Amino acid sequence: MPAITVSSILELPRVPAPGLDQLPRPVRSVTTAPSGFEGEGFPVRRAFAGVDQRDLDPFIHMDQMGEVEYAPGEPKGTPWHPHRGFETVTYIIDGTFVHQDSNGGGGVITDGDTQWMTAGSGLLHIEAPPEELVVSGGLFHGVQLWVNLPAALKMTAPRYQDIRGGEVGLLASHDGGALIRVIAGEVAGHAGPGITHTPIALAHATIAPGARMALPWQKGFNALVYVLSGSGFVGAERRPIRMGQLAVLGAGDLIEVAAADQQESRSPSLEVMVLGGQPIREPIAAYGPFVMNTRAELVQAFEDFQAGRLGVIPTTKRELPTDNQPGHQVL
Ligand code: MN
């Protein structure tokens, strides 16, 4: 589990110990992510499946990619595909992904890096392992999150943020047992590097066996906890939660997550993504790689894509496959 780690967590700034007047948020639901395949066939868990969109707002979709140990020749990516109306945030914990988009954005992200791509008015996108990794195989693990854009920003110009792992905000829990990496927004007054269009916070935490994390959380934000690996407890009622499960929390001051005393040897700590934001509260018309407000806007997006108005594929060996149909879920 490379992501970003530190030699001494105790030297990091600490999240303040929770006050007696601060209420931990209760658990509203715990759901288990179904497994599926993405793009050219890499394994994913659909973290938000079965959860009401209103509870996820301002987020749309999240995939845990892997964790998978590829054999030589096996690593897979996606074909070229379009996006419009939202942002894709790709956080790589282990392994390497190469991104490219028709707007000139792109780069290599590895071990703790994040690519924050605002599709806005639209672009074409490809995500794939580098050729040397296809040859060698190896460990691959990451997350892709879709962040919605409000109507006023759906047609904003595309933007690309390349966030290196070393730039994330690092914090320790009050008990010193959890490492918190703030990727975007602010946690306990410590900001992450990601620039967001609407107020959100996104963090990855590693919680040692028996440790407890209590994060102060904006009152107006929703609060989601997704377990990448390990097992523990979440919310005011210490509800059990394990790998591949998502907790939706209700109102309160703190997000509480604790790691079970015993963890499996393959994942010695509890690994969670913690995220929330100011709900946008607008109608959503989403289909495949487009997230708009109305059905007419979706039809327009398909027409623009088919007319080449979302961009053209830069000079490349790869071809747009004929099976890239609307409705096929592509990252
Ligand atoms: Mn994509």
Ligand 1 centroid distance, CA of 34 (Å): 20
Q: What is the CATH T-level fold of the domain 23-306, as seen in this structure?
A: Jelly Rolls (2.60.120)
**Helical ranges in the chain per DSSP H:** 53-56, 131-136, 295-306
Show me where the domains of the chain are located.
23-306
296 burial class (0-12, 13-18, 19+ CB within 10 angstroms)?
A: exposed
Ligand 1 centroid distance, CA of 101 (Å): 9
Check whether the bond before 58 is cis (ω within 30° of 0): yes
Long-range CB pairs of 51-54 (<8 Å, 24+ gap) are: 51/246, 51/248, 53/284, 54/279
List phi, psi (to 5°) of 191: -90, 150
Ligand 1 centroid distance, CA of 221 (Å): 26
Ligand 1 centroid distance, CA of 240 (Å): 33
Residue 292 to residue 282: CA distance in whole angstroms: 10
Write the DSSP string, 263-281. Answer: --TTS-SEEEEEEEE----
pLDDT of amino acid 1: 64
Predicted confidence band of residue 322 (pLDDT cuts 50, 70, 90) = very low
Mean pLDDT calculated for residue range 87-96: 95
Q: Who contacts 223 (Cβ-Cβ below 8 Å, separation ≥6)?
A: 25, 217, 248, 249, 255, 274, 275, 276
Q: What is the pLDDT of residues 189-216, one digit of tens each?
A: 999 999 999 999 999 999 999 999 999 9
Ligand 1 centroid distance, CA of 323 (Å): 16
Report which residue type is found at 89: V
What's the pTM value of the predicted model, to 2 decimals? 0.93
Ligand 1 centroid distance, CA of 230 (Å): 28
Ligand 1 centroid distance, CA of 127 (Å): 7
At residue 125, the 3 state secondary structure works out as strand
Ligand 1 centroid distance, CA of 21 (Å): 43
Ligand 1 centroid distance, CA of 82 (Å): 7
Q: Is the pLDDT of residue 318 over 70?
A: no
Ligand 1 centroid distance, CA of 2 (Å): 24
Q: What is the pLDDT of residues 126-167, one digit of tens each?
A: 998 888 888 899 999 999 999 999 999 999 999 999 999 999
pLDDT of amino acid 325: 38
